[in-house]
Chains A and B, each alone.
Chain A
Amino acid sequence: MEITTRSLWTLIHGMGFGALYLLACSGAIVLLFLRFSTEARTIASPHRDRFLSSYLTAMAALAWLTVLTGTYIVYPWYRAAPPAGTAHLAAFPRALLLSNPATSQWHSIGMEWKEHVAWLVPITITMAAAIAIKYGRALRFYPQLRSALHVFIVTSLVAAGIAGFFGAMLDKNAPVEGGQTIYLVQGGKP
């Protein structure tokens, strides 16, 4: 059982930071709703305010880690141009996708959308975390601020979902492979 370093980084980017962010998004939406619902006021505490701020800050960190690893570690491997005359394109995912009309749209629509829309996520969630830190408990008295937080967090979920979906499909059609091989378990006899 083995994995290449490029596959490992793709996993860290997508299944690690990205998937964890998507999971955290639904938690943030529920947390915001529960934190400021009428019933929740009976069990409100400064600890819960700090938890909301910390939760959104952790989400912002995850969002930044996802886009930075994606843009500056995985994407250069994805878009690397093959030397002229290269017949075997498995090590060049972008070129591999574009070489076949049946898969070219995964790049021209999928990757082109994913690589840009993903950057809306750290912007929106960093804003949400900053507001939660700044206003804390007082957020209860700003329904319009809370509405904005909800809209921006839901939008970040949509943007992260688009990026995650296309990331998974791109990896299925043209995985980023190469680099050193890491042996996880030494093989035995078949």
Chain B
Amino acid sequence: MSVQSTLAQEESTAILNSRVIPNGSGAAAILSAGIGSFGVALFTILADKSVYLKNLFVFYKPTGPLSGVTTAAILLWLASWAALEGRWRKRTVPLARINIASFVLLGLSLLSTFPPLADLF
């Protein structure tokens, strides 16, 4: 079989796949990753501002509040992923807008975990 015909066959398989798999699952994974990342920053700031929350986030004493902050963010990420996957799995969604929202959340997470900026809140 020539290279061209192999490619043509792979192209048609991929096109078929792209029709079978809507972009919803990918969008759910992307947006939930943005939400989970933002959760890390949000819970960090909340634990820093409230003594009550700081103590509440101590899930494992040797690690302190970091254990609760990160576990809560991971749970938020997985829960939002499951919820969005259930909602969008069979749908084609406006991915450009979802990408932008996720990039904004990701950028905010990077910046908000930087202590001098986190202290501004």
- Which of A44, A76, A137 has a CB less than 8 Å from the CB of B17? A137
- How many A-B pairs have beta carbons closer than 8 Å: the answer is 124
Cβ contacts A112-150/B at 8 Å (1 or 0 each) = 110111011001101100110011111011101101100
Q: In the bound complex, do residue B10 and residue A44 qualify as a contact, i.e. CB atoms below 8 Å apart?
A: yes
Question: Contacts A71-B70, A135-B21 hold; do A148 and B64 have CB atoms under 8 A apart?
Answer: no
Determine whether the beta carbon of B63 is less than 8 Å from that of A75: yes
Give the chain B neighbours of A50 by CB distance below 8 A: none
Q: Which chain A residue has the least Cβ–Cβ distance from B43? A: A116
With both chains docked as a complex, state the minimum distance between the C-beta of B11 and any C-beta of chain A, in angstroms.
8
- Give the interface segment out of A10-18, A151-159, A172-180, A182-190: A151-159
Residues of A within 8 A of B7 (CB): 41-42, 44
**B73 pairs with A119, CB closer than 8 A:** yes
Asked if A37 lies at the interface with its beta carbon under 8 angstroms from chain B, I say no
Number of chain A residues whose Cβ lies closer than 8 Å to a Cβ of chain B: 42
Q: State whether B37 touches A144 (Cβ < 8 A).
A: no
Indicate if the CB atoms of A116 and B113 lie closer than 8 Å: yes
B43 to chain A minimum Cβ distance, whole angstroms, is: 9
The residues of A with any CB-CB pair to B shorter than 8 Å are 41-42, 44, 67, 71-72, 75-76, 79-80, 108-109, 112-113, 115-117, 119-120, 123-124, 126-127, 130-131, 134-138, 140-142, 144-145, 147-148, 151-152, 155, 158-159
A-B contact pairs, 27 of them (CB 8 A): A71-B63, A72-B62, A75-B62, A79-B62, A79-B63, A80-B62, A116-B40, A116-B41, A116-B69, A117-B109, A119-B70, A120-B110, A123-B40, A123-B77, A131-B26, A131-B29, A131-B30, A134-B21, A134-B29, A135-B17, A135-B21, A138-B14, A138-B21, A140-B14, A144-B99, A148-B26, A151-B99
Closest 9 CB pairs of A and B: A76-B62, A127-B33, A138-B17, A141-B18, A116-B113, A144-B95, A112-B115, A138-B18, A145-B26
